Amino acid sequence: MQKRMWIISNRLPVHISKRQGEFIYTKSAGGLATGLSSFYKTHASQWIGWSGYLTESSADKERIAAALEKESAFPVFLSRREIENYYEGFSNKTIWPLFHYFLEQVIYDKRYWETYRRVNQRFCDRILKVAKPDEHIWIHDYHLMLLPAMLREKNPQLKIGFFLHIPFPSFEVFRTLPWRSELMQGMLGADLIGFHTHDYARHFLSAASRLLGLEHVLMRLTYEDRIVKVDSFPMGIDFAKFEQAPEKPATEREISRIQYRLGGQKLILSIDRLDYSKGILQRLEAFHLFLQQHPEYREKVTLLLLVVPSRSRVESYRQLKLKVDSIVGRINGEHATIGWTPIWYLYRSAPFHTLSAMYHLADVALITPFRDGMNLVAKEFVASKTNRRGVLILSEMAGAAAELGEALLINPFNIDEIAAALAKALEMAGEEQSRRLQEMQSKIKRYDVTRWAQDFVDGLQQVSEQNAGLRSNLMTSEDEKKIVDRFRRSKNPTLFLDYDGTLVPFARTPAQARPPQGLLDLLCRLGAQTRLVLISGRRKQDLDEWFADLPLELSAEHGAWIKRKGEDWTTIEPLTGEWKSDILPILEATVARTPGSFVEDKDYSLVWHYRKADVGLGQIRARELTNELLYMTANLNLQVMEGDKIIEIKNAGINKGRSALFFLAQAVETDFILAAGDDYTDEFLFKVLPPAATTIKVGFRMTEARYNVKSHQQVRQLLEKMSL
């Protein structure tokens, strides 16, 4: 049976009005509602969002809720003050300008933030009343960035996806936000976080790394007790709808009407919502420059400027409207002739058949936003060109530019470049226009809005199943009781324990990881009643200094050195460190280029540490160094291993698994084995132990171990119970 999908957005896909005491409900046009309409109908979906209707009447709210729930829509009611602070305030005066790189427009107001958080909690409470624990929750956009974590806290079993429809800015911009960590943690409550482009996803991962210290592996973050997948899903359109529209009678009539008005002139089309991020003023100035540079096109081209009203209550938007009006008037006043107006300026929305006619007729689509999450207008224009004639001029700052490389891509801040692109577009041969459009249409048709939505839902299901598997491996209190009971009943138990990250937290430098007295006492008690092997990547000198007086056995440098009770250090096989003279200069050169990093020289291995380095630089240098070392050691008996903020080079074939087998072979047959470790090197240990062994992975990564635990504290707690 198909699980229900709950779509959560700021607004429901319906417009509510009241006439003569009766509520009237009409479908919303454009935006998310249109994009998800086909998916919404076929996937047992329910929708939760603000009703869009302001009322304090309980009776009105009940009537609206009852009517909407019949259409699988569940309203959230907000007050006028909440709309002012949450929607018009924090969402559109803080997040919107910041994420579009308009820092001069950003307002940091604590009242906005507190209301934003309170409204997100209102959405959370509404969802929890109607959604079941095993259902999918798909949260949309910047209005609800705190919601995933709020839901996760209340119901950890939910399958939560979050999609951001606007750009995610670079870390240097995002870090200016006072509530940056809270927003990051809010989004990380989701199992899957989606963006339109890889660049936006990359910026998010960079912020997660720099703010929260999270590193990703193949776009997957380990956060708390879950895997969070981050990926790009370029939103598509209903391709068939736009492709078929020019053949509809209403569209055909509109095409004829506009053609008659044009009188043979070429049409340049510009469609945008009124917003400072769209670059409308610069676009007009570029058209003005084009007319000045190419007087031969006067009375031969018309710019149809359709500006859809937006946020008219916000002062900055009212000022932008006045500037657009002024520039349009100036250009028309300077260039117009009797019978020719250079710019047709429409400040209103247009019905679908009119838009389709404009798309189909336009010789050029001029789309030049300064920043845009995707920009579906570009895709709608391309899909509507069934005659394969027309040129798309597109800002390289729009998300759609990553897909539509056959467009004329321009820098929206370069007016000269836009003017030159207009001339090139109007002069482009028909064959080239057709080729470019055909290639773009093929991409858009293949990855339409249904495919986009299905890919996201499939990705959410996949990572949710992975997290369910991790949760099934989580060590419970009942598991602890069984382990302790088996340990106490055993006659010859053996424990293999890693040190850093397993018994103590990671330190910024190796010297800072000295064991506390409480841990030494614990190991002493355990070592007195069982065979205890500390199997670490540390140097034998460190282990000797810290643990030589305790009743335990030691393995250093991931198994290169071993030390049994009462014996000296020895190696499993003859080893050499002569190779280090070739590798050490490479590591030292990397240290010189990476402030905060350093090299640890062990007897039979070298380790490059970058925990203290800048996060972004450390990751880049780690990739560079790994690639160089793999190339250098391809024909040598060496192994390059990546650990937690380290890269280690050591003799191949020497690992913790081999060391453990050596200890097991040298003793009376054991009837209980427990092994605990936190990183990649411990996987060698887990793999070689018999199936009956109790193996524990610290942290939430895919592992050969039987159990996962959250931190070294949980390992210590288990060992404390075993030592009693």
Is residue 42 predicted with pLDDT exceeding 70?
A: no
Which letter, b or e, does each residue of 406-431 get, where b requires 16 or more Cβ atoms within 10 Å of its Cβ? bbbbbebeebebbbbbbeebbebeee
Is residue 30 predicted with pLDDT exceeding 80?
A: no
What's the whole-number average pLDDT of the chain?
Answer: 91
Domain 474-573+654-723: which CATH class? alpha beta
DSSP track, 290-316? HHHH-GGGTTTEEEEEEEE---TTSHH
CATH among 3.40.640.10, 3.40.1190.20, 3.40.50.2000, 3.30.365.10 for 239-446? 3.40.50.2000
Residue 621 burial by Cβ neighbours in a 10 Å radius (0-12, 13-18, 19+): buried
Is residue 161 predicted with pLDDT exceeding 70?
A: yes
CB 272 within 8 A of CB 303: no
pLDDT given at position 180: 97
Catalytically annotated residue among 272, 275, 498, 678: 498
User: Of 23 and 140, which is predicted with more confidence?
Assistant: 140
Q: Give the whole-angstrom CA distance, residue 100 versus residue 194.
A: 17
pLDDT given at position 29: 60
Q: Give the whole-angstrom CA distance, residue 389 versus residue 378.
A: 15
- CA distance readout (Å), 166 to 70, 254, 310, 488: 31, 33, 16, 57
* Span 244-300, pLDDT tens digits: 999 999 999 999 999 999 999 999 999 999 999 999 999 999 999 999 999 999 999
Consecutive H or E run containing 528: helix 517-529
Question: In degrees, to the nearest 5, what angle opens at C-alpha 282 toward C-alphas 277 and 288?
Answer: 155
Which residue in the block uniquely carries the two structure tokens 């291993």?
641
Same fold, 78-232 and 239-446: yes
Helices (H), 224-343: 239-244, 249-262, 280-293, 315-335
Pick from 689, 695, 679, 680: which is nearest to 657 by CA? Answer: 689
Confidence of residue 72 (pLDDT cuts 50, 70, 90): confident
pLDDT given at position 287: 98
Q: Give the whole-angstrom CA distance, residue 23 versus residue 64.
A: 8
Confidence of residue 33 (pLDDT cuts 50, 70, 90): low
* Span 593-604, pLDDT tens digits: 899 899 999 888
pLDDT given at position 543: 92
Is residue 150 predicted with pLDDT exceeding 60?
A: yes
| Token couple for 561 | 């050195």
- CA distance readout (Å), 709 to 482, 516, 636, 644: 15, 21, 37, 17
Quote the pTM value: 0.83
Is residue 498 among the annotated active site residues?
A: yes
Pairing of β 672-677 and β 694-698: parallel
Question: In degrees, to the nearest 5, what angle opens at C-alpha 31 toward C-alphas 100 and 393?
Answer: 60
Q: Give the whole-angstrom CA distance, residue 151 versus residue 143.
A: 15
Beta bridge partners of 500: 504
Q: Is the alpha carbon torsion for 411, 416, 417, 418 positive or negative?
A: positive
Beta bridge partners of 222: 227
pLDDT given at position 310: 85
Helices (H), 26-109: 31-42, 58-69, 80-82, 96-99
User: Of 301 and 579, which is predicted with more confidence?
Assistant: 301
Confidence of residue 471 (pLDDT cuts 50, 70, 90): confident
pLDDT given at position 1: 45
Q: Give the whole-angstrom CA distance, residue 470 versus residue 225.
A: 8
Max CA separation in the chain (angstroms): 106
- CA distance readout (Å), 593 to 138, 613, 624: 43, 10, 12
Question: In degrees, to the nearest 5, what angle opens at C-alpha 352 toward C-alphas 351 and 355?
Answer: 90
Beta bridge partners of 609: 598, 646
Locate the DSSP E strands across 475-549.
493-497, 531-535
Q: Give the whole-angstrom CA distance, residue 450 versus residue 462.
A: 18
Q: Mean pLDDT, to the nearest integer, of 97-104? A: 96
Which letter, b or e, does each residue of 146-162 get, where b requires 16 or more Cβ atoms within 10 Å of its Cβ? bbbbbbbeebeebbbbb
The crossing angle, in degrees rounded to 10, of helices 249-262 and 352-361 is: 50
Could you say which DSSP state residue 84 is in? I
390: Cα separation from own chain's centroid: 35
The crossing angle, in degrees rounded to 10, of helices 656-665 and 681-688 is: 40
Is CATH 3.30.70.1020 correct for 580-651? yes
Q: Who contacts 512 (Cβ-Cβ below 8 Å, separation ≥6)?
A: none
Confidence of residue 531 (pLDDT cuts 50, 70, 90): very high
Sorted by where each begins, the domain ranges of the chain are: 78-232, 239-446, 474-573+654-723, 580-651
* Span 622-632, pLDDT tens digits: 989 999 998 88
Pick from 593, 594, 588, 499: which is nearest to 547 by CA? Answer: 499
CATH H-level, domain 78-232: superfamily? Glycogen Phosphorylase B; (3.40.50.2000)
Within 13 Å and on the Cβ side, how many CA atoms surround 455? 18
Helices (H) and strands (E) in the chain, counts: 26, 29
| Token couple for 383 | 């899909």
Q: Mean pLDDT, to the nearest integer, of 690-708? A: 90
Q: Give the whole-angstrom CA distance, residue 393 versus residue 430.
A: 16
Question: In degrees, to the nearest 5, what angle opens at C-alpha 573 toward C-alphas 568 and 579?
Answer: 105
